[in-house]
Structure 1
Amino acid sequence: MTRKSKPRHDEMKKKVENYSNEYSGVISEIERAALLHACLKSDHVIRAATTIAFKRVPTNARHAFIYSFSIGSDSFPAATQIESGQKGQKKSTFRISVPIAFVHNLLKNTPTKGGLQPQNIDDYYFPSILIATLAAYAHELVHIIVGHLPTQESKAQELYADRIGGGTTWGWILKANIQQICEISSTNISSNCLYGFLHLASALNKEHNKEGLYLPVAGRFAAFCSGAIFLDESKGKRGLHEFDKLLITGIKCPDSRFQSDTIQNTYTLINSKEIFIEEELLELIKQEQVEKPKWFNASQMMAPIRRALQQIAKRNTSEKQG
């Protein structure tokens, strides 16, 4: 452990200890060690992904964004916008909070060697936890960047965040440093990405959809996958993965030594035609086009892009008039 990373390690260790002490159930020593490992790795991969995401974002916007791991009662990551300053000089700070409870929920569904009770942390399959966490984080980051937070919540917003979040996650794990942190190889990126999306789907429940803002689990899984496929097609690199083939032949843990009945049961549920209406997804995509201008206009992260486009438009207008 380097000196630079030790403070983060110590802070995360303290948070996991506090979470474990306040947890209503029983957490074994092995489970606690695995949870700390999963949180530390998640923190590492999120920091790496954030660096990629904000590479071309103006410095002031980059400094207005923070993320943290929380030990509160929330079960899912959440994005918030905090206003500060006086009227006319207000500044916004954007935050994504990743609850340790969310990582723990993923851990409880994580594939284990032979599907048996783990005897040490190596008996857990961590890549799918990390990719599921990245996908959930990407979903929240989309809310911030495209301007969802200042506008009215809607089902179209959530679908858009799922789709673009899926594409963002795929873009991240194509990077060698992200693969290294997630401990996946360049030969099984597709299977790990799909399985990570499936792992995330297994953590979604009715409580998360209590306000009716989300599609059924099958729809959300489809949205994440379609976002990843669209990114590949837009870059002309469709041959990089075999999503379609994997979706047809079946999704299993990329490492055959590990298995999770919960995740496989989720896959069975997703394949049930009774729980997902494709027409609803298509209708929401149409609604996205109606709402999108409002989001983009409200986005502070996209303000520099808007100003640049406006300047180009003015310049073109002046040239035509001249």
Structure 2
Amino acid sequence: MFPAPAKRDGVLPGFRLGLGYTLTYLTLLVLIPLGGMILMTGKLSWSDFWGIATAERALASYRVTFGASLAAAAVNALFGLIVAWVLVRYPFPGKRFVDALVDLPFALPTAVAGITLATLYAENGWIGQHLAKFGIKVAFTPLGIVVALIFVTLPFVVRTLQPVIEDIEAEVEEAAASLGATRWQTFTRVLLPGIFPAWLTGFTLAFSRAIGEFGSVIFIAGNMPLISEITPLLIISKLEQYDILGATALAVVMLLISFVMLLVINLLQWWAANRHSKSSEGDAPAEALAPGALAEARP
């Protein structure tokens, strides 16, 4: 009898040491700064904190920040899926160039992106002058904020979906088509359950990135209070006025709202992943189509 091989926990040795480094790293970079920010608000009374958090200018900035972030993440969730699908499934001239172009927002400084977008979408810009003919104003409006956030957050959706789409065999679509499924049924009942968790992850990453975006937004937003002012800019304004407690109060509100929204999205992601894993156990890809759908699809 040969002795059983020693159990290996992973490539990197030392679970306790690795866990210690992980907890220390997260504590220094995340927990201590966030904890200090929350403790700073303890210097404010509840009425003062509530007054700062619910001021008219603050409420307007929340609406602009979270509304524009959700809109940009939703747009990129749709078009990012299309871009990722085209890059994975279809060969075409210049594909490598287009694939590299997706990462441009990662490499381009956000301030440069903001200045460029403001120049292009201004009323006398290359794009803005044509939109102005239809009464559409982009630069220095909340719509300009959405445009800037769409540009910045697109790679998060595309790069999250690409490896998942690459793992889907083309034979899955062929099997569904051979059973009489339409293209829409193939997408919604065969492909979508497999890519939905990654799709939701890309949406979450895009939304999280958009909430904290500053550099590309301030140049195209116009920064008009109650109209196109984002909360990060309002925080900076309070810091410039040496209103440290007011800026901290707004930061805590942003933290709480972001945490709640991300928690809801992560719960949806966990539910979708568990549902897909349970439904895929013992089921062939073609069996993902309901018999009723196949009967409807057959002539």
> How does the TM-score come out when normalised to structure 1?
0.25
Task: Work out which structure has the larger RCO, using CA pairs closer than 8 Å and 6 or more positions apart in sequence.
Answer: 2
The structure richer in strand per residue is 1
The structure richer in helix per residue is 2
Rg larger for:
2
> How does the TM-score come out when normalised to structure 2?
0.27
